[in-house]
């Protein structure tokens, strides 16, 4: 049996899925046909539903929930790991609601959190996350929202943080930040969904128990990232919520959608979201 699977190139995804994709665990006869892409591309592909299982930003999920459900394993939630709003060092006082802002995708949770924190900032342009810093440094744009490993290196590259959007979320809600979900199409049989969810949990557990085993797969897509940054990235984004959302994780996700709906950022709150 074959399942089409979309994952991002980020170290937390390649770490999480390595054992599953490369059959370092027993996958119960399931072959995973993998597409590796930027999370915003995966968000867009979910709109047409061509992948049976895929990584999604939680913001994007609100637009496709009628076709996908969230697996209990694999999500990126946590504390102190949210997106950062940055500008060139020395330009902090010049940033205002008229500034030109870069975001790593309209459907990303980073954009959702930015919209909650800065509702008056309307001049936003989508950009591949890795191109945000160079475009700010060149003066083409004034500021931007960074995600992934850039949070560990922005200061040494000459940028200043205007706001930690994760801290904003935590201070407002006292819940973990729902960043990325692993979702599966609703037309997949329920017993298969449950099997895949268990396999994904086992894949994470294998990676945790064999931390060097996924190095080749991780470095295949993260060649420009230094090893210490890779380790920090994985430690931050792969945590207990990745093994299971639990009541706290599910409550945080519901809170995200409730707040987004109350601010009229999304038209309706998703229902029947979770595979249990």
Residues designated as active site? 148
Q: What is the DSSP string of 176-222?
A: -EEEEEEEEETTS-HHHHHHHHHHHHHHHHHHHHSTTTTHHHHHHH-
Identify whether the C-beta of residue 127 lies closer than 8 Å to the C-beta of residue 103.
yes
Least Cα distance to 86 among 76, 101, 74 occurs for 101
Tell me the residue length of the chain. 276
- What is the rounded (10 degree) CA torsion for 237, 241, 247, 249? 20
Give me the residue label for tokens 């931390």. Answer: 211
The Cα–Cα gap between 199 and 134 comes to: 39
From CA 8, how far away is CA 54, in angstroms rounded? 9
**Residue in the block written with tokens 């790991």:** 81
Residue with tokens 């987004």: 260
- Which of 33, 40, 67, 77 is CA-nearest to residue 55? 40
- At 133, list the tokens: 């810093």
Q: Provide the Cα torsion 185, 21, 194, 236; round to 10°.
A: -90
Q: Using alpha carbons only, give the angle 140, 142, 148 rounded to the nearest 5 degrees.
A: 95
């Amino acid at each position: 049996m074959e399942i089409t699977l979309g994952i991002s190139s980020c170290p937390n995804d390649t770490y999480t899925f390595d054992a599953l994709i490369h059959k370092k665990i027993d996958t119960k006869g399931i072959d995973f046909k993998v597409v590796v892409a930027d999370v915003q591309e995966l968000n867009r592909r979910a709109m047409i539903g061509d992948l049976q299982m895929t990584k999604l930003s939680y913001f994007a999920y609100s637009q496709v929930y009628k076709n996908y459900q969230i697996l209990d394993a694999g999500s990126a939630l946590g504390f102190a790991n949210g997106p950062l709003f940055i500008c060139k060092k020395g330009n902090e006082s010049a940033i205002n609601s008229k500034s030109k802002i870069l975001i790593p995708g309209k459907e990303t949770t980073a954009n959702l959190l930015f919209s909650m924190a800065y509702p008056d900032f309307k001049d936003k342009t989508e950009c591949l996350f890795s191109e945000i810093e160079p475009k700010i440094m060149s003066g083409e744009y004034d500021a931007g929202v960074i995600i992934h490993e850039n949070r560990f290196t922005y200061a040494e590259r000459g940028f200043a943080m205007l706001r930690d959007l994760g801290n904003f979320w935590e201070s407002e809600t006292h819940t973990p930040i729902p960043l990325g979900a692993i979702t599966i199409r609703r037309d997949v049989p329920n017993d298969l969904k449950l099997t895949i969810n268990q396999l994904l949990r086992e894949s994470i557990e294998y990676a945790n128990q064999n931390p060097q085993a996924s190095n080749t797969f991780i470095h295949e897509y993260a060649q420009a990232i230094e090893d210490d940054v890779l380790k920090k990235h994985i430690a931050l984004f792969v945590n207990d919520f990745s093994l299971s959302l639990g009541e706290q994780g599910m409550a945080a996700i519901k809170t995200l959608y409730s707040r987004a709906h109350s601010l009229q950022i999304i038209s309706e709150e998703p229902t029947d979201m979770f595979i249990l």
